[in-house]
């Protein structure tokens, strides 16, 4: 785990495809959004930004493609500093999906909405339609003639993601992708984000305070507090550190809480992050008989 304090000097990382270098941003009303923020994204990873509401997660995400610009510091994408002259290029590389999907949906039909971005790039109607259909197939939306605002909350978010994927970004940043979704749609969203990394080679940045989801899906977890990243590391490094999480107003994931409650943490066993891993460990340890297997879909 690598802690990052507000006074730490940040150094560029040659492997990073996004490098946020000691960025500070203050809103017009004087509110500090992020302060001396240092953050990187690496190829083909899911990185979870975890913290309570108001910690600075959304502000950081909106700096990743120049939607917000730093007051101090800089953001580099694939080795190029974001500036007003290259915003169009950067936004093709880094796609943002907001928490409020309605803010990204405005066309008469789902298909037209997803085609909007490619058409804006100058693609032909045929090319834009092809990209849109492929993006909608990736997210599992088949009814392309529906009116976007008549869709369910989960479907709207999938269409919003499809609209970004149609631009063929290399990095996707998503703000609270499962907020207000029912468990079934939240699970579909989680599987989709994992497939974008595993099957399509994207890097995915997710802002969330769902620690269970972070445990299941993230390759790296960054804890955000008061506009800065106070710690980062693997899920096992971060999500079993109860004192660290509590200091940021967060709780242990459910699996870690059960594991600790059973008193297994000091037995030298592999720390589980998913229900499936926990059940396997309990069976192996003799605490769960083979005939007592419970159904899980992880």
Structure confidence by residue, pLDDT tens digits, 27-71: 999 999 999 999 999 999 999 999 998 999 999 999 999 999 999
Q: Calculate what percentage of the chain has a pLDDT beyond 70.
A: 91
pTM: predicted TM-score of the whole model, two decimal places: 0.88
Domain boundaries, the chain: 18-110+164-249, 253-289
Looking at residue 185, its pLDDT comes to: 85
Superfamily of domain 18-110+164-249: P-loop containing nucleotide triphosphate hydrolases (3.40.50.300)
- The predicted model gives 115-140 an average pLDDT of 94
Looking at residue 100, its pLDDT comes to: 83
Listed residue (270, 261, 235) closest to 45, CA to CA: 235
- The predicted model gives 94-99 an average pLDDT of 92
The yes-or-no verdict on residue 217 having pLDDT over 70 is yes
Listed residue (53, 75, 77, 28) closest to 203, CA to CA: 77
The yes-or-no verdict on residue 152 having pLDDT over 90 is no
Q: Regarding predicted confidence, which is higher, 43 or 10?
A: 43
Q: Regarding predicted confidence, which is higher, 14 or 193?
A: 193
Cα Rg of the chain, angstroms: 20
Looking at residue 10, its pLDDT comes to: 45
Q: Is 15 exposed, middle or buried (0-12, 13-18, 19+ CB in 10 A)?
A: exposed
């Amino acid at each position: 785990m690598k802690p990052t304090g507000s006074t730490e000097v940040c150094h560029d990382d040659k492997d990073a495809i996004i490098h946020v270098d000691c960025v500070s941003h203050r809103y017009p009303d004087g509110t500090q959004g992020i302060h001396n923020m240092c953050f990187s994204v690496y190829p083909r990873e899911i990185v979870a930004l975890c913290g309570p509401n108001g910690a600075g997660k959304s502000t950081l995400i909106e700096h990743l493609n120049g939607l917000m610009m730093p007051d101090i510091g800089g953001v580099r994408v694939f080795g190029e500093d974001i500036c007003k002259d290259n915003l169009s290029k950067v936004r093709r590389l880094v796609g943002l999906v907001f928490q409020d999907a309605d803010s990204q949906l405005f066309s008469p039909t789902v298909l037209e909405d997803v085609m909007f971005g490619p058409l804006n790039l100058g693609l032909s109607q045929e090319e834009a339609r092809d990209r849109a259909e492929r993006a909608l197939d990736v997210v599992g939306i088949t009814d392309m003639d529906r009116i976007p605002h008549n869709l369910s909350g989960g479907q709207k978010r999938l269409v919003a993601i499809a609209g970004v994927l149609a631009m063929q970004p290399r990095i996707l940043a998503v703000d609270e992708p499962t907020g207000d979704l029912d468990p079934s749609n939240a699970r579909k969203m989680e599987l989709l984000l994992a497939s974008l990394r595993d099957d399509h080679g994207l890097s995915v940045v997710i802002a969330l305070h769902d620690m269970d989801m972070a445990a299941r899906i993230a390759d790296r977890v960054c804890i955000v507090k008061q506009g800065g990243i106070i710690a980062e590391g693997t899920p096992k490094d971060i999500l079993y550190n109860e004192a660290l999480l509590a200091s940021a107003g967060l709780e242990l994931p459910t699996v870690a809480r059960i594991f600790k409650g059973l008193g297994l943490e000091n037995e030298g066993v592999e720390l589980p992050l998913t229900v499936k891993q926990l059940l396997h460990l309990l069976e192996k340890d003799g605490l769960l008989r083979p005939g007592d297997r419970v159904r899980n879909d992880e």
